[in-house]
Structure 1
Amino acid sequence: MPSATDNATRSASLHDAVEALQTASRTPAKQRAVKVSGVVDAICSYAFEDGLDASSLKVVLQIVTKKTELDQSSVTNLVKSLYPAQRVSNDVVITAVGALGQGKGKPSPATQNSLVKWLIIVHEVLEDAKILSRLYGVLFGMLDMISLRTSLCHMLSLITRRKHVKPFRIQQLLELSRGIGNEPALQGLLRVYKDYYPDIILGGANASRNSFPPPPDPEWRKRLLKIQDAEHRSVEDDFEHLNGFKVLRKGPKRSKLSVIPDVHTFHSNESSVTLEEIDNVDDFVEKLDRIELPGQLMSFLRDPLLQKYLTLNPSSIASQRIDLWLAAYLEDEYEAARHGVGTSLHLSEILDALLSLARSTKTVLPIVATFLKVYLPIWDGVTDDDAIIGLLSNFPFQPFSDVLSAYLEPAEMTLIRNNPRAFEKWIPMYTSLFRHWTAQVAPQADSAVTGATEQRNFIELVAHVSDLSLSIIASTPPLTNSPTVASILTFFEVVSTSSVPKVIPIILPPPQLIYSLVMSSSATILARTCGILANYKSAFDTHPTPISQYYPTAMTNRFNGYLMDTCNLIWRSRALLTADANSVGFYCSPAVREALNTYLLKMDREYGVSFAFGLSHNPLLSSLSAATWRSLEDAMIEKEGYDRHAVNRHKGPPTQRSLAVLAKEGGVDIPWKQYRIHVLRWLDERACGGIKNLMFATMTGLKDAAVT
């Protein structure tokens, strides 16, 4: 990353280059001491990398907007490199517009045309968005210039609003159109005028592909966004009109490929206001009650401004129009799929748009739910899978059994049969659905208490995912950190942190699932599972008491068994024992445990099942524990001033006994508890913090000992 000194040096170099350019622009080519091409290249290079600051941009623009001693190639390169580092000031815009037209001191027609194109591409990053509107009359008056007409029509098409559409301008456009024929850019501007006053401008105004302003040079635009990103994070949103207070324009090419139309208001009158005229939030609020509905309301599937308008100003007529269009379209798609013809290419676009709408409004249109209910049983499980899964995850809170039988089971069975990435996609759907329902129900915590039926919906959802997860784990051994297993862990991480007293219950996963995850062959899975148990422990600790009034004793005993068995495994050197209250020893029978213990003791009389899963010997954690011990031992040697060559170092995995012997035989004196706390911290720093969280939450006094 460049330092402040480097930036200051580069800035000074730029200003020197700009001064050299000013001198060169006043000096004939044969009298220059320095080649102007080198100066221009330096300015263009700096502009491409960091953009031109306000003062440099103003000076360079003043040079290229008048006749100078510079050659046309240099001027063209400079105009192409006018990347503003900040928003463009009014002075710069006025200078650029003032350079247009005919006159002795004006730049060449090619330069003027380049300046208009530059204004088109930067008009969304102007310091004052209304400056071009105030200069509308000046720009319109230059339409008689053949060299500028196309670019000017494109610019005027972008900035024209109802207030600009005057009778004399309509007359001039019609006369130009009759005089020069169907010039595409002029017809495009005339079409914009016709949208505002369809009763006055009759006939004509046929839009072709070249009638619309061409999209900005993608490379130029991408570079501009990158330059301005540091100071103006919203610039890209401005370019895409995604601030929600301007209608979207896809352009002619995308419009032909799209079944969702752009927003266009037809048959407006002089007193009405169209959505196309809205520029900002103040304008939208001020004119909300006077806005006319556009001609095709299906634009609302993609246009954020129309979505806001229909939300703030609901209309039964608008809703019926939308439902009728969607019903007719989706029915045709269903019939095509049912008869084996196949759905159209546009169905993907519609479903993606409906998903985007569902994510923004947090609900699914009833007509969409009706379509999915009949479409899912004949769906192939692959086509539009992401869109369909996304729509299902946004269904409103309702009885889970109804959603399961009507939607989820048909989709689940189809996915499992036909989609190779079924589980990888399907489990995250349940996570999103659980989050969605939680967001809908959680606000009731301050106002009311959900009934047993509502809480049952969450319980049934988690139970279904638990059964599905057990089936996945049982059918895909060995249990590694695959995307599917990761999504299962993510689901239960969400569940374990989403409980709200009296509203969203604490819902435990089954013991078979927890114990399978703890016994996996991945340190990540082990750590995340421990983190889930720590989340549940925190939920119980913060829940209103007594717990027995809210949850049955069997449930709390089962959870205490999870904690006891996991702590026995990792911390207490009592792995697989069932002697403690509520523990089940990971369902390992005493006979199996004894046989395994006998085998391990034959290998090493100081080894055994009790130690095999602890921090020092656990096959998933032993390498991290060994690295922890080495760092701790080296730090202690440094602190105590031991001779590194003479000190007795530990030879193997630390145990409580081996550390005591080491201290007596000339090694470092590190208590067993301190070593294990250091291991927990070491794991936490390496994305295995769930183990530390669980031990600190369950082992009495451990957290306080770690602080001291």
Structure 2
Amino acid sequence: MPSISDDREPVGVHEALQSLEKASRTPAKQRAVKVSGIVDAICRTAFDQGLDEHNLRTVVRIVSKKSELDQTSVTNLVKNLYPATRVPADVVVTVVGALGQGKGKPSLGTQNSLVKWLALAHEILEDSRVLSRLYGVLFGMLDMISIRTPLCHLLSLVTRRKHVKPFRIQQLLELSRGLGNEPALQGLLRVYRDYYPDIIIASTTATRNSFPPRPEPEWQKRLISILEASSATDEDVLEHRSGFRVSRKGRKRSKLSVIPDVHTFRANETSVTLEEIDSVEDFVGKLERIEPPGQMISFLTDPLLQKYVALKPSPITSRRIELWLSASLEEECNAARAGSEDSSYLFELAGGLGNHSQYDKGLLPIVSTFLRAYLPVWDGITAADAVLALLAYLPIQRFQDAYDSFLGPVEKVLPGHGLQSLEKLLHFYTQLLQHWIAQVAVRPAAPANKSFDKALEDLVVHVSNLSTSLLLSLSNSADSSIRSAILSFYELLSASSKPQVIPILLPPPLLAYLLAQSPSSATVSRICGIYANHKTAFDKHPTPITSYYPSKVTIPFNSCLRDFYNVFWGAKAFQSVGNSAAFFCHPALRVSLNDYLTAIEHEYAVGFALDLSHNPLLASLSAAAWWSLEDAEIEKHGYDRNSMNWHRGPVTQHSLEALEKDRGVSVSYLDYRRHVLQWMADRGCAGIRDLLFATHLKLKK
């Protein structure tokens, strides 16, 4: 029997769906093609790129009615119902219409799978109200044993206060008494009791079947990747992305969680609870009537409760949060002193506090008090990432005060845990700098707050000393991640300066030279990019610069710029100016190096040793750039490749002049170097280009 998957030419999904529709009406013995091949082709397309609205409707229409397809094929189709966009309302209506008893209904196993699919896809419906309008239809099918469990899970997700009616409560209680403690039914009753606490249900322990299960990780991950790749996807398509719906961890995770889910225990028939809010309009319209949940600490992990606390503050709310945190944080301090702290407990608690700090752009007062007491007894390992992320939101203050209370204890314990901990420390300082800069940026431009400037300056000086010490003490083979972390700090700093608001703070010359002499072209490019940013900042600053920055700042900066320019562009590497030695090369040593190199090749000299063509880190890049330029010139002018004289490198001004006279391409030395700079920039090494463009007037123009 031929199979559609056996054909040599690929079959489109539309053709496969047409074949599937035809096969669903044809008995198996009368078919001309093998259905399994058609189903595999459709499932592959659905898994790879999702099904658009038309194809999704077609598949749902086929599986939602009794057909000649075998159960295995139908089950595979439902399992691979990955929508590429939001699910249209008519698709949901078709699925709900397929449920129940009837001659044309699909099998009970298919109905079970379709209800599970609705529970998975209910967050990405085009019209979130469609399931609410169909609530009565779904509720009326609870007497069907075959779909009762997934149907209870779906209703638990959809139920809002308006759905909880006395007659439905009565029906649920009668079903519960008749069926015993059926887990899914008890879970739906608990949802009803959240809205009407007077409902009496049997005292049962919650099992994993009591509440809606979390989507299969593979299915959910694949759906998210498909939706993110779809141009029609909005940011709020994915689960809880909008932040206007209460988050649920699931029963199993809630039991293990330190921070509880949002639950309102004092609800009555006239009150409004956060659990029934499902849109921004609903939230705004009912904000003044919302009943606070039982445990306000849930706001650390729930976006909706976070908004409620921020928009409707009250002394009682603040006091409830403070009491819970003070008890929990004090317990954590005592456990750390006794050496019995639970890392998972602290990780979740600190992570929740970090989420709130990110939302509120600051620390709660009780958290600062906790950190001041906890850090001296911290081991530097327990929940390190969460603790450092929390510390990054310290308010800007006198640096010595921050160091004595917070930063000093961290620096004492972290370095003892290897290079990775040192990298974490540097990344932490980058995050702290970002937070402090954000606080400085919103202050009034005048009068200038000198204490803020001093705090930033002291922080940068401290990190500079720390970075220099690390580079001098670590080997080149071991410090690539450390160098990258240091550069990230200064890249943020160099891009943040703002005239008369955020001062220009420079890395010390020794640190800059150490980074510029790194055995990594990426590192050299990044330090050049940092100095290019500072040069641009000075150019945009009000003049005269000497009125704002002393000579002890500008003279070393100009010396570094001159050295970088001489190395990469001016062919004057290591040339001394006045009493200063470029790149700390003693003049006598430069003379010796120059004599040595010219003895090897009379046209070579120490000044050329680090330019674009000869630099050990950049020579291969500049050679590749030259080859691309040379090839482009030959193609542009239509030269005969076989008769052309190709440059063998390295490229110099003299070699280009000789090449032009000897049947080679005609390219000026300036054009060659500009092409090299742009070629490297296009491949991620833009720092050198930016620096030279910022300092060279002709290149800038």
Q: Check whether TM > 0.5.
A: yes
Partners of 1:635 and 1:114 lie apart in 2 by 60
1:596 deviates by 2.7
SS in 2 for 1:606: coil
| Larger displacement relative to structure 2 (361-370 or 99-108) | 99-108
Q: Which residue number corresponds to residue 618 of structure 1?
A: 615
Q: Which residue number corresponds to residue 4 of structure 2?
A: none
Q: Which residue number corresponds to residue 214 of structure 2?
A: 215
Q: CA contact under 8 A between 1:61 and 1:95: conserved in structure 2?
A: yes
Please tell me whether residue 80 in structure 1 is matched to residue 82 in structure 2: no
Q: CA contact under 8 A between 1:88 and 1:126: conserved in structure 2?
A: yes
| Unaligned segments of structure 2, at least 5 residues | 1-7
Q: Which residue number corresponds to residue 547 of structure 1?
A: 545
| Larger displacement relative to structure 2 (260-269 or 67-76) | 67-76
Look up the equivalent residue of 1:289 and give its one-letter code: E
Q: Which residue number corresponds to residue 605 of structure 1?
A: 602
Shift of the 649–451 alpha-carbon distance from structure 1 to 2, 3 Å rule, reads same
Partners of 1:30 and 1:663 lie apart in 2 by 79
Q: Which residue number corresponds to residue 566 of structure 1?
A: 564
Q: CA contact under 8 A between 2:17 and 2:59: conserved in structure 1?
A: no
Q: CA contact under 8 A between 1:358 and 1:391: conserved in structure 2?
A: yes
1:424-573 paired onto structure 2 within 5 Å: 424-444=423-443, 448-478=446-476, 482-573=480-571
Look up the equivalent residue of 2:22 and give its one-letter code: A
1:313 deviates by 0.8
Q: Which residue number corresponds to residue 16 of structure 2?
A: 14
| Larger displacement relative to structure 2 (115-124 or 540-549) | 115-124
Q: CA contact under 8 A between 2:240 and 2:247: conserved in structure 1?
A: yes
Q: CA contact under 8 A between 2:581 and 2:587: conserved in structure 1?
A: no
Q: CA contact under 8 A between 1:480 and 1:522: conserved in structure 2?
A: no
Shift of the 91–564 alpha-carbon distance from structure 1 to 2, 3 Å rule, reads closer
| Unaligned segments of structure 1, at least 5 residues | 1-5
| Larger displacement relative to structure 2 (7-16 or 360-369) | 7-16
Partners of 2:150 and 2:639 lie apart in 1 by 81
| Larger displacement relative to structure 2 (300-309 or 58-67) | 58-67
The superposition leaves residues 623-660 of structure 1 with CA deviations (integer Å, 9 ceiling, x where unpaired) of 33333444445555666777766666655534444544
Partners of 2:700 and 2:523 lie apart in 1 by 23
Partners of 2:9 and 2:54 lie apart in 1 by 16
Shift of the 319–648 alpha-carbon distance from structure 1 to 2, 3 Å rule, reads same
Look up the equivalent residue of 2:145 and give its one-letter code: I
Q: Which residue number corresponds to residue 296 of structure 1?
A: 295
Shift of the 567–42 alpha-carbon distance from structure 1 to 2, 3 Å rule, reads closer
| Larger displacement relative to structure 2 (678-687 or 56-65) | 56-65
| Larger displacement relative to structure 2 (35-44 or 506-515) | 35-44
1:335 deviates by 0.9
Q: CA contact under 8 A between 1:480 and 1:521: conserved in structure 2?
A: no
The superposition leaves residues 214-265 of structure 1 with CA deviations (integer Å, 9 ceiling, x where unpaired) of 2233333344444444336757964532321111111111112211111110
Look up the equivalent residue of 2:510 and give its one-letter code: Q
1:348-387 paired onto structure 2 within 5 Å: 348-387=347-386
SS in 1 for 2:291: coil
1:133-282 paired onto structure 2 within 5 Å: 133-201=132-200, 204=203, 207-231=206-230, 238-282=237-281
Shift of the 30–373 alpha-carbon distance from structure 1 to 2, 3 Å rule, reads same
| Larger displacement relative to structure 2 (67-76 or 434-443) | 67-76
Shift of the 159–589 alpha-carbon distance from structure 1 to 2, 3 Å rule, reads same
Shift of the 52–617 alpha-carbon distance from structure 1 to 2, 3 Å rule, reads closer
Partners of 1:236 and 1:642 lie apart in 2 by 53
Q: CA contact under 8 A between 2:259 and 2:298: conserved in structure 1?
A: yes
The superposition leaves residues 452-490 of structure 1 with CA deviations (integer Å, 9 ceiling, x where unpaired) of 111111111111111011101111243887011011112
Partners of 1:433 and 1:362 lie apart in 2 by 12
Shift of the 596–636 alpha-carbon distance from structure 1 to 2, 3 Å rule, reads same
1:81 deviates by 3.9
Look up the equivalent residue of 1:335 and give its one-letter code: N
The superposition leaves residues 489-542 of structure 1 with CA deviations (integer Å, 9 ceiling, x where unpaired) of 121111111111111100111111112222222222222111111111100000
Partners of 1:532 and 1:96 lie apart in 2 by 59
Shift of the 459–17 alpha-carbon distance from structure 1 to 2, 3 Å rule, reads same
Q: Which residue number corresponds to residue 416 of structure 1?
A: 415
Q: Which residue number corresponds to residue 312 of structure 2?
A: 313
1:56 deviates by 4.3
Partners of 1:689 and 1:87 lie apart in 2 by 41
| Larger displacement relative to structure 2 (14-23 or 226-235) | 226-235
The superposition leaves residues 544-574 of structure 1 with CA deviations (integer Å, 9 ceiling, x where unpaired) of 1121221113322221111112212222222
Q: Which residue number corresponds to residue 672 of structure 1?
A: 669
SS in 2 for 1:150: helix
Q: Which residue number corresponds to residue 117 of structure 1?
A: 116
Q: CA contact under 8 A between 2:13 and 2:42: conserved in structure 1?
A: no
| Larger displacement relative to structure 2 (616-625 or 129-138) | 616-625
Q: CA contact under 8 A between 1:596 and 1:609: conserved in structure 2?
A: yes
Q: Which residue number corresponds to residue 691 of structure 1?
A: 688
1:385-396 paired onto structure 2 within 5 Å: 385-396=384-395
Partners of 1:663 and 1:48 lie apart in 2 by 58
1:63 deviates by 4.2
Partners of 2:642 and 2:231 lie apart in 1 by 59
Partners of 1:75 and 1:639 lie apart in 2 by 60
Partners of 1:637 and 1:63 lie apart in 2 by 61
Look up the equivalent residue of 2:14 and give its one-letter code: A
Q: CA contact under 8 A between 2:181 and 2:202: conserved in structure 1?
A: no
Q: CA contact under 8 A between 2:265 and 2:294: conserved in structure 1?
A: yes
Look up the equivalent residue of 2:369 and give its one-letter code: T
Select which of 565, 569, 587 maps to 1:590: 587
SS in 1 for 2:308: helix
| Larger displacement relative to structure 2 (307-316 or 557-566) | 557-566
Look up the equivalent residue of 1:348 and give its one-letter code: F
Shift of the 374–16 alpha-carbon distance from structure 1 to 2, 3 Å rule, reads same
Look up the equivalent residue of 1:591 and give its one-letter code: A
| Larger displacement relative to structure 2 (312-321 or 677-686) | 677-686
The superposition leaves residues 60-87 of structure 1 with CA deviations (integer Å, 9 ceiling, x where unpaired) of 4444444444444444444434444443
How many residue pairs were aligned? 694
SS in 2 for 1:271: coil
| Larger displacement relative to structure 2 (325-334 or 515-524) | 515-524
1:667 deviates by 5.5
1:48 deviates by 4.0
Q: Which residue number corresponds to residue 3 of structure 1?
A: none
Partners of 1:301 and 1:267 lie apart in 2 by 21
1:309 deviates by 0.7
Partners of 2:660 and 2:65 lie apart in 1 by 87
Partners of 1:268 and 1:386 lie apart in 2 by 38
Partners of 2:73 and 2:476 lie apart in 1 by 67
Look up the equivalent residue of 1:208 and give its one-letter code: T
| Larger displacement relative to structure 2 (131-140 or 8-17) | 8-17
Partners of 2:17 and 2:613 lie apart in 1 by 64
The superposition leaves residues 146-203 of structure 1 with CA deviations (integer Å, 9 ceiling, x where unpaired) of 2232222111111111111111222222222222221111111111111111134477
| Larger displacement relative to structure 2 (464-473 or 375-384) | 375-384
SS in 1 for 2:393: coil
Partners of 1:279 and 1:162 lie apart in 2 by 12
The superposition leaves residues 368-394 of structure 1 with CA deviations (integer Å, 9 ceiling, x where unpaired) of 222121221222212211111111222
Shift of the 389–217 alpha-carbon distance from structure 1 to 2, 3 Å rule, reads closer
What RMSD, in angstroms, separates the aligned Cα atoms of the two structures? Answer: 2.9
| Larger displacement relative to structure 2 (257-266 or 353-362) | 353-362
Q: CA contact under 8 A between 1:184 and 1:210: conserved in structure 2?
A: yes
Partners of 2:633 and 2:231 lie apart in 1 by 50
Q: Which residue number corresponds to residue 3 of structure 2?
A: none
Q: CA contact under 8 A between 1:393 and 1:429: conserved in structure 2?
A: yes
Q: CA contact under 8 A between 2:86 and 2:233: conserved in structure 1?
A: no
SS in 1 for 2:442: helix
